[in-house]
Amino acid sequence: MRLVKMELRGFKSFADKTTLVFDKGITAIVGPNGSGKSNISDAVRWVMGEQNVRQLRGQKAEDVIFAGTERRRPQGAAEVSLYFDNSDGTLDVDFAEVVVTRRLFRSGDSEYYINKRPCRMKDIHMLFADTGIGQDSMAVIGQNRVDRILNSKPEDRRIIFEEAAGISRYKGRKQEGLRKIAETERNVERIRDMMAMLE
């Protein structure tokens, strides 16, 4: 699996539709201070479901939407798509190319898509869990993050190893399973009460 392309529109400093193509090998993004280099890695984390806007150097969710300049009006929405070459089948879907999109409107409405079909953020998390580029992965190391990892509590650091070891997908499924068991137990309890009333 490889990130081959990225499209941004209305995300942070990228007011207009901007397409970045990542060829094989290493891509370096260079530019003056404040020109938007880090905004690109923020966009990758955002699509992957980063919920903590402070991790994206903002205060509130809508801070990722282009806020306007003296010459340009603010945008009403931010949208980012990541294109992955999945010809090696790393992602568990029957597509050789996988496009993941996140869109956020100023109203606070949020949309997620996998290959242009609406989905939940959870679906994106599950699709990328244990692939190395998921939500908590080390694929994107932001400025200051190295210090934070070194100073983090052992329990927090454990999450990093769990992602690397490939078990976070199963932890997610376990939580889902436990939730369903609890729901079923509540239903059984209700049925028992109803049967007791009928007897």
- Using the rule CB under 6 A, give the single segment among 62-70, 87-95, 97-105, 172-180 that binds ligand ATP: 62-70
Tokens standing for 110? Answer: 């949020």
Return the closest-CA partner of residue 53 out of 43, 40, 63, 44: 63
Q: Are strands 97-105 and 110-114 parallel, antiparallel or unpaired?
A: antiparallel
- Identify the residue whose tokens are 């993004």: 29
Cβ atoms < 10 Å from Cβ of 128:
25
Calpha distance 126→115 (Å, rounded): 15
Applying CB under 6 A, among 26, 28, 30, 33 the residue interacting with ligand ATP is 33
- 32 annotated to bind ligand: yes
Applying CB under 6 A, among 1, 20, 22, 38 the residue interacting with ligand ATP is 38
Applying CB under 6 A, among 44, 63, 123, 126 the residue interacting with ligand ATP is 63
Calpha distance 64→193 (Å, rounded): 50
Question: Rule CB under 6 A: is residue 84 a binding residue for ligand ATP?
Answer: no
Applying CB under 6 A, among 18, 22, 36, 167 the residue interacting with ligand ATP is 36
Site string for ligand ATP, 11-30 (x = CB under 6 A): -xx-----------------
Applying CB under 6 A, among 47, 48, 66, 133 the residue interacting with ligand ATP is 66
DSSP-derived secondary structure letter, 117? E
DSSP-derived secondary structure letter, 11? B
- Contacts with ligand ATP by CB under 6 A lie at 12-13, 31, 33-39, 63, 65-67
